[in-house]
Amino acid sequence: MTQLTEISAVKCFDGVQKRFEHDSQVLNCRMQFSVYLPPQAEKEQSLPVLYWLSGLTCSDENFSAKAGAQRVAAELGIILVIPDTSPRGDGVPGADDGAYDLGLGAGFYVNATESPWQRHYQMYDYIAEELPGVIKQQFNISKSAISGHSMGGHGALVLALRNPGRFTSVSAFAPIVNPVDCPWGEKAFSAYLGENKQQWQQYDACHLLENKQADWHIPIKIDQGLADNFLESQRLTRPLEEVCEKTGVKAEFGYHPGYDHSYYFIASFIEQHLRFHAKHLKA
């Protein structure tokens, strides 16, 4: 039984925004995460949960403060669980040069096999196994869905595609979809997984779908801003749409002129994502 420490609890849209801390066995460090409990949590037996995976540099607090998701979660009766994006704390290695796209805040939702990362950087297992265990122990959960932004969109897609039946639905904002072939992914995967690119493919949404190593019946919704600075350079979203077309996988892709990579984009469309997930979480 994991011991959870409640760090804070703030009322928000008639529910409560909480932060917890716990010892992660998988990551070998102390971890914090945020949870939004909608008002229905006080009355109903069990509620659905949406896991939100954040992008590079974020902690569990960015989405909580900036996306405006609680308003809709309160209406729909959905618990939001927002993990951190990497292991943290004393003894957890970061990038030697303090880079924003490797190490702290950049766990990339993989299980590292290489030094010095492998002792702590096991974010895939943390999100796939340990954290849901902690959540189910603490709250009465019905079904689960998953969503994320950028690096977190990559994480959400990979976790959903590789674990059929675990999530009712997956969505993403401006996701890294083909990390084996973009600068962010190549840098992180080289460091965490080594030079054997075969090992990388298990964490690549395009590869998983193209090779049918995936649940391709799961409902997928992806939104992408067309003024996103990283759209071309990191090959966001579009390679996955091509794979979906080629393989006949059905997914909703929305492209939005003028929107960038920021939380202003997420805030503008989070309501649609929550309603998309609610449809499947409550089916």
Residues marked active site are found at 150, 228, 261
Distances (CA, A) of 116 to 31, 124, 169: 19, 17, 34
Tell whether residue 87 is a contact of a second copy (CB under 8 A): no
Strands (E), 79-125: 79-83
Choosing from 6, 7, 10, 212, the residue that interacts with a second copy (CB under 8 A) is 10
Q: What token pair was written down for 18? A: 């909480």
Any contact of residue 75 with a second copy (CB under 8 A)? no
**Closest C-alpha to 38, from 83, 82, 5, 80:** 80
Among 23, 65, 233, 245, binds a second copy (CB under 8 A): 65
Of the candidate residues 14, 242, 245, 252, the single one contacting a second copy (CB under 8 A): 14
CA-to-CA distance for 167 and 159, rounded, in angstroms? Answer: 9
Contact in structure between 86 and 59 (CB atoms under 8 Å): no
Contacting a second copy (CB under 8 A), which of 83, 263, 277, 281? 263
Q: Using the rule CB under 8 A, is 13 a contact of a second copy?
A: yes
Q: Is 264 in the site for a second copy (CB under 8 A)?
A: yes
User: Is 124 or 265 the residue whose CB approaches a second copy more closely?
Assistant: 265
Q: CA-CA distance, 179 to 181, in Å (whole number)?
A: 5
- In the bound state with a second copy, the residue whose beta carbon lies nearer, of 64 and 85, is 64
234 is a contact residue toward a second copy (CB under 8 A): no
Adjacent-strand bridge partners of 37 = 16
Residue 269 CB, shortest distance to a second copy, in Å, is 9
- Residue 151's SS3 state is helix
Contact residues toward a second copy (CB under 8 A) are: 10-14, 17, 65-66, 68, 70-71, 225, 227, 256, 258-260, 262-265, 267-268
